[in-house]
Amino acid sequence: MKFRSIILLTQVVVCFALVRCKSPQARIGQPANLAVNITPERVQRGDYLANHVAVCMDCHSRRDHSQFAGPIIPGTHGAGGEVFDKKMGLPGTFYGKNLTPATLKNWTDGELYRAITTGVSKDGTALLPMMPYLNYGKMDREDIVSIIAYLRTVPSIENTVPASKPDFWLKPILKKMPQKSEPQAKPALQDSIGYGKYLVTFAGCGDCHTKRRMGLSVKKKAFAGGLAFPLSGGTVQSANLTPDLKTGLGHWTKEAFIARFKAFDPETFNSFETQGGFNTPMPWLFYGGMNEEDLGAIYSYLQSLTPIENQTVTFKPKASETKPDLASQLSGDYAIDQLEVFDKKMDTVRDVEGVVSISKINALRVKLTIDIRPKHAEPTPVETICSLLHKQNKVQLIEITTNEVIGYISKREIHLQSKELNGAKTKIVGKL
């Protein structure tokens, strides 16, 4: 994904120190004499990998970053043109290349395989490793071949992409970065942890969810999150993916983990304008298309990691001198004051504890997090996204997935209500 660019600078310098001064092609070798047999099975597998696991189309399509999670701009799928430049901390200006047959018709299958897995382009020059060929070189050969088969079948889009312009000092260093591939067999699906690790490597999860120091991963903080991404509306930090009980995924169930991704399934989720509020570099609309079996394997692998306590700040908005908008005024933690479950009143002092939190997404959209549990029980938060509608003296909360009013906020109090099939009601009242 495009925000991998932030971590590259020191990787470049280290590679310069470690690799002898040979051209990429001299070190890696000529492309293999490869002719991919394009079958429906390979195209289907390649489509899945390129769009939902390796997410090639994340960088090789143009994205609308004014929308939540940056959906692809229609008509640009795979056609390149996305810009990666010094605004992102890169030493130069680089462009995502056109991966449709309009350009790749001039590439052999062997040249494509070499580029994806080693970082050496058709003309023998080195590719910038923001395309994570160091990861792809460790993947099963058949999966890479399937991606090539898919790329041969995507709709051709004529789009001439400008040549990348690295800074002058980077050019000799860039030549030293490509590495020979070391493909491995894809683990069996029954090996949930091993297969999950394979998918996590393919997806590059560790690239964004590991802190960096001088551009290099802090190994003791692997997958513990905290990497900062400056966006137009503020700064986002990546989440802690280790099974730490306080700050990570320790209390997440497999079902909750899968549900978080599937909430952004591109087949059902409609993105929206963030209006300068909370956005994310996480390409949810790509990863949300992963199947539940693969997401479950990723969960199993992440749960096998060593827990690391590392509290992260999801979003810190930019300071503003303007009057707070509606979402900003309502954001905060609402302490539970009243609770009825199936029409039965609960003692909020003795029996239960918890909080309802409102976080701004944009001026008229918020994330609602409900965390109510028996005293001393572990947190089990439930989240949804709501639109705000000011009506009379109340602000209605409208759940975007169902378009239903689930409550309202008035005079620093939040009121939520749901009705069960048998007519019983659950009510929550919280005070800011």
How far is residue 254 CA from its own chain's centroid?
A: 18
13/150 same-domain check = yes
Residue 134 lies in a domain: yes
Residue 3 counted as domain residue: yes
Name the domain count of the chain: 3
**Domain annotation covers residue 11:** yes
Judge if 2 and 147 occupy the same domain.
Answer: yes
Tokens representing residue 187 in the block: 């683990």
Range of the domain at 215: 206-318
**Residues 194, 146: contact at Cβ < 8 Å?**
no
Is 73 in the same domain as 175? yes
In a domain, 10, yes or no: yes
Claim to verify: residue 85 and residue 23 sit in the same structural domain? yes
What is the SS3 string spanning the chain? CHHHHHHHHHHHHHHHHHCCCCCHHHHHCCCCCCCCCCCHHHHHHHHHHHHHCCCHHHHCCCECCCECCCCECCCCCCCCCCEECHHHCCCEEEECCCCCHHHHCCCCHHHHHHHHHHCECCCCCECCCCCCHHHHCCCCHHHHHHHHHHHCCCCCCCCCCCCCEECCCHHHHHCCCCCCCCCCCCCCCCCHHHHHHHHHHHHCHHHHCCCEECCEECHHHCCCCCCEEEECCEEEECCCCCCCCCCCCCCCCHHHHHHHHHCCCCCCCCCCECCCCCCCCCCHHHHCCCCHHHHHHHHHHHHCCCCCCCCCCCEEECCCCCCCCHHHHHCEEEEEEEEEECCEECCCCCCEEEEEEEEEEECCEEEEEEEEEECCCCCCCEEEEEEEEEECCEEEEEECCCCEEEEEEECCEEEEEEECCCCCEEEEEEEC
Residue 17 CA: distances (Å) to CA of 6, 12, 119, 127, 216: 20, 9, 18, 18, 14
Domain match, 334 and 286 both:
no
Asked whether residue 332 is domain-assigned, the answer is yes
Domain boundary among 280, 297, 318: 318
- Beta strands 216-217 and 212-213, pairing class: antiparallel
Buried b (16+ CB within 10 A) or exposed e, 313-347: eebeeeeeeeeebbbbebbbebebeebeeeeeebe
Question: What integer pLDDT is reported at residue 25 of this predicted model?
Answer: 79
The 10s digit of each residue's pLDDT in 151-182 is 999 999 999 999 988 888 887 888 888 999 99
One domain for residues 281 and 342: no
Last residue of a domain, one of 318, 336, 354: 318
Q: How far is CA 346 from CA 67, 152, 422, 428, 432, in A?
A: 41, 61, 20, 10, 20
Residues 214 and 288 in one domain: yes
Last residue of a domain, one of 318, 337, 359: 318
Q: How far is CA 120 from CA 67, 115, 124, 133, in A?
A: 34, 5, 6, 9
Does a structural domain hold residue 191? no
The closest of 260, 272, 265, 275 to 317, measured between CA atoms, is 275
One domain, residues 284 and 376: no
Task: Based on the fold, state whether residues 48 and 174 are members of the same structural domain.
Answer: yes
Identity of the residue numbered 111: E
The position carrying tokens 């209605």 is 396
Check whether residue 150 and residue 212 sit in a common domain. Answer: no
Query: Is residue 175 in some structural domain?
Result: yes
Residues 339 and 304 in one domain: no
Residue 108 token pair: 């052999």
* Residue 193, domain member (yes or no): no
382 contacts: CB under 8 Å, gap ≥ 6: 369, 370, 371
**pLDDT tens over the chain, length 432 residues:** 444 444 444 444 444 444 445 678 778 889 999 999 999 999 999 999 999 999 999 999 999 999 999 999 999 999 999 998 877 777 889 999 999 999 999 999 999 999 999 999 999 989 987 889 999 999 999 999 999 999 999 999 999 999 988 888 887 888 888 999 999 999 999 999 999 999 999 999 998 999 987 667 788 999 999 998 888 888 899 999 999 999 999 999 999 999 999 999 999 999 998 887 889 989 999 999 999 999 999 999 999 999 999 999 988 888 765 567 888 888 888 888 888 877 778 776 677 878 888 988 888 899 988 888 887 777 778 888 999 988 878 999 988 888 888 899 988 889 988 766 556 677 888 887
Distance CA 416, CA 432 (A): 14
374 shares its domain with 406: yes
**Of residues 91, 93, 83, 95, the one with CA closest to residue 169:** 91
The pLDDT of residue 304 is: 98
- What's the CATH code of the domain at 391? 2.40.128.120
